[in-house]
Copies of this chain bind each other. A is one copy, B any other.
Amino acid sequence: MPLPPPRISKSRRPSSPSPTTSPVANGNHFMAELPAPVNKDVDFANYFCTYAHLYYQKVMLTDPVRMEAYYNAVFKNPYHFRNKVVLDVGTGTGILAIWCAQAGAKKVYAVEATKMSDHARDLVKANNVDDVVEVIEGSMEDVLLPEKVDVIISEWMGHFLLRESMFDSVICARDRWLKPGGVMYPSHARMWIGPIRSGLCEQKWNEFENAMSDWHCFANNMESQYGVNMNVLTKPYLEENEKYYLKTSLWNNINPSQVIGTSAVIKEIDCLTATVDEIRELHVKFSLRIKQDRTRLSGFAGWFDVHFRGSTQNPAKNEVVLTTAPSEDNPTHWGQQAFLLHPSVRVNEGDELAVSFLMVRSKHNHRLMDVEFTSELQQSSGQRHLPVFSKFYIE
């Protein structure tokens, strides 16, 4: 039995114009639980292996929004780096570490968990900063540095900010290695949710229906041709496909005009003080106001921004913001995370949505997320609808 289509993938297509999904088999698991211990080898097989490819590094290095933000953050605030000791968490090819050195850092420790570290070392040398940048292969949790650092820089953001749970490693680095009064790059992060309309709703629903009608043909054929009644598997097949087509959040670059109402900040993170407990589980209530008339609420989009403001003691003179909000001119490889409702809902200008949002880590993979939305529509006429509950998986 040969291995079949890559329907489960350890990775996402960030640069694709069309949405992709990648489910993983889970049961119902939205209860908060103690985090399971991580098997490092499995984590490598599922996660880090991707970053060991130059192909992926190039994808990230060719996102101009990402590149400009970090470049400006460093070079417009060089006094944060000049003669300072810097730690780069997850250096990849070493670009951020090289920039820090070019901005005048005295020493840069560039930590990388994968074999990409070899390439980083070569790149550092070829750019004549090997007297400043020391590339260290290892996971941040294990690495021992000979000194504390003035600045921690890291590009740790996953889809909808927290996917990949890489910020855990940044927190660990900060708690172990940042000097009192040290600065985080970025210093702050925010998660956003906005109401959207999207043709993907119908598309995914059609795909789901096609998958099921295909199943029924298959089941009939199995009975008539091979004498095996498959009906007992129809429900689990439906559940598997419901999860895949309808409950898996989608990578998407949304046009700003698709955002049909106000957006809400659902989480603010101060990178200098945040704890893992604070991000392990998010439970937030917020309201959104519909601003387009006679439209449909297809669901919600999630995105983030991060800010480079330095610290209160040591503020950046030139603040920089990196946003992954819907944008026609400045899309990013992060895109937005779309959570689609089935069915979508008729809405009008002035309608209010009261939303209760829960996000926890997947029981099966601490780098993936399970999400719940409970949304209650109150029409501008005053009429209230029953709350709608939807589960999603960020795979």
Does A54 sit within 8 A of B, measured CB to CB?
Answer: yes
Of A115, A159, A215, A227, the most chain B CB neighbours within 10 A belong to A227
In the complex, are the beta carbons of A240 and B54 less than 8 A apart?
A: yes
In the complex, are the beta carbons of B163 and A55 less than 8 A apart?
A: no
Does A155 sit within 8 A of B, measured CB to CB?
Answer: yes
Return chain B residues, CB-CB under 8 Å to A228. Answer: 95, 98-99, 123, 127
Residues facing B in A106-132 (CB within 8 A) are 115, 119, 122-123, 125-127
* Closest chain B residue, CB of each to CB of A11: B3
Give the contacting residue for A11; candidates B6, B14, B52; CB below 8 A.
B6
Does A79 sit within 8 A of B, measured CB to CB?
Answer: no
Given contacts A49-B8, A62-B218, contact A2 B163 (CB under 8 A): yes
Which of A229-237, A311-319, A349-357, A378-386 forms part of the interface with chain B?
A229-237
In the complex, are the beta carbons of B8 and A50 less than 8 A apart?
A: yes
In the complex, are the beta carbons of B60 and A4 less than 8 A apart?
A: yes
Give the contacting residue for A14; candidates B4, B24, B231; CB below 8 A.
B4
In the complex, are the beta carbons of B12 and A9 less than 8 A apart?
A: no
Query: Closest Cβ of chain B: how far from A184's Cβ, in Å?
Result: 17
Return chain B residues, CB-CB under 8 Å to A22. Answer: 6
In the complex, are the beta carbons of A4 and B13 less than 8 A apart?
A: yes
Which of A40-48, A144-152, A262-270 forms part of the interface with chain B?
A40-48
Bound-complex Cα distance A53 to B4 (A) = 10
In the complex, are the beta carbons of B1 and A6 less than 8 A apart?
A: no
In the complex, are the beta carbons of A229 and B1 less than 8 A apart?
A: no
Bound-complex Cα distance A2 to B233 (A) = 35
Return chain B residues, CB-CB under 8 Å to A25. Answer: 49, 52-53, 115
Bound-complex Cα distance A44 to B52 (A) = 21
